[in-house]
Amino acid sequence: MISSRPQRRWLGYWLLVIGCGGLLIVASHSLAFINQGDWNRSVGAFLAAPIDGLPGWNDNPFGAIWSFRNPPGRVFWANSSVWLFRSNAMLQSLFRESFSLFYLAITAKIFLLFVAERLAQRMAAQNNTGLAARFAWFALFALAIFAAHNIALMNSFYQEYAFFLLLPVMLVALMSLEAPRWRVALVMAALMCGLAKIQFFYVPVLVVGALAYLRVACKHRLDAGLVGALLLVQAVCVTPLLRYSEYTATNRYNATFYGSYVVMTDAEIDSLGLTAEQRACIGVDAWGNRADDATAAQITAGNKTCITKEALPLGRVITPYVANPSLLFRLLTTISPEHYSSSYFHVSRGNRYLTSIRHDGEFGTGKALIAVSSVRDLWFLHGGFLLTAVLGLALPLVFRRQIPAGVAAVSLLLLVFALSQVVVCILGEGIRDLGRHLSAAQYAMDLLLVTCSIQAGCLVHSWARTR
């Protein structure tokens, strides 16, 4: 029998957390991203047949589930999401005949709710607040994670899967460095995030940068073993960059002809020495889709493309930006706001990624989470991005003595990652599918917004009490 008041408060707290989490899981049931031919790279090695469209919850028969052969063109082995999908499939194969997306998704969502509660717990502990604040902060973190544009990934098989699962773990670990188990978790989360997709290869060195910030700005002791482990992990995460694949030529073509060249002036194009045939390919992606402008408002298919089997030299991708310092800024402003919205689209703005996995095509209670994404976009696309970025920079640099060191490190890590992803994605594949390629950056900005809002509120409250 629970008789003491503290016990009743704890019971009430956990009932609220479980109830809130249950509602979010139910609401997110229908949300998914459409398959654009990418899923077989992640799960094709252990399913009996390729996935052509949206999978059902239970109709994906296993193939060679215990074989580790690498079917050509069907899977990326140097990818942590592939490991995650396969390990979940192996577990399911012990009691099922087919791979269930439902079991994968429900496991991932429960895990994310657990980590959201850990984030709230660490924020509450570092700010010395009570259970009411802790639950409110859990609700904010959980709502950010379960916004439609984020949680839809858990009902899909895209390679960002492991990153979306492990980024919050990395944040909790940064705020819990005093515990050995969390230092181990930090290294493992950095490895999983860095190997989730090639565009995240530098995540471990960002974590090292956050540790260096804690040493220089906050006078924390630097754990040489932890730094060494992270540098080793960084070396592992760089290895996929060294492998030439069939996608290298496509990515570099899109980065130029469907990227930097699109916003260059005639004089700047002349300096590249392109032939007339090559100039006609500007604005055409590797599959022959021509965009009228960088916003991809109108797309016409079936155009001639200039892609070749041999990839363009990396220098061809970087040179336009070096020769024309204003080019990156022009490109970033030209694609705004279409490519910065969380309403991701594939090639054409009318072809949205977000869809329903239900047989009737309805979103049902998922509409509430879609509304969360819409409100979020209203904030970020109307000055909120700049304000969040300024706050994310001010907290660790200006107010570092007034806020917990772990929170400052987390804010800096999220901000640097989000900003760097814009450049990495543009250099990686230009403006083709740029919105969804920036989904991890959007995720980081969502978590940064919640972190900064909580910490700014604590600062204001502290100042008000001391007046």
Q: Can you give the residue ranges of every domain in the chain? A: 6-242+364-466, 246-340
Distance CA 328, CA 317 (A): 12
Distance CA 341, CA 71 (A): 36
CA distances from 21 to 29, 382, 462 (A): 13, 30, 30
List the pLDDT tens digit at each of the 467 positions of the chain. 555 778 888 999 999 999 999 999 999 999 999 888 778 777 877 777 767 665 555 567 777 777 666 554 444 567 899 889 989 888 988 888 888 888 899 999 999 999 999 999 999 998 888 899 999 999 999 999 999 999 999 999 899 999 999 999 999 999 999 999 999 999 999 999 999 999 999 999 999 999 999 998 888 888 899 999 999 999 999 988 877 666 788 899 999 999 999 999 989 998 988 888 889 999 999 889 888 777 777 788 878 888 887 778 888 999 999 999 999 999 999 887 888 999 998 888 888 999 998 878 889 999 999 999 999 999 999 999 999 999 999 988 888 888 888 999 999 999 999 999 999 999 999 999 999 999 999 999 999 999 999 999 888 887 877 77
Distance CA 295, CA 4 (A): 61
The encoded tokens of residue 365 equal 């209670």
Q: What's the predicted TM-score (pTM) here?
A: 0.94
Sign of CA pseudo-dihedral 19, 20, 26, 27: positive
**Sequence-distant (≥ 6) Cβ neighbours of residue 278 within 8 angstroms:** 257, 306
Residues 389 and 419: beta-carbon distance below 8 Å: yes
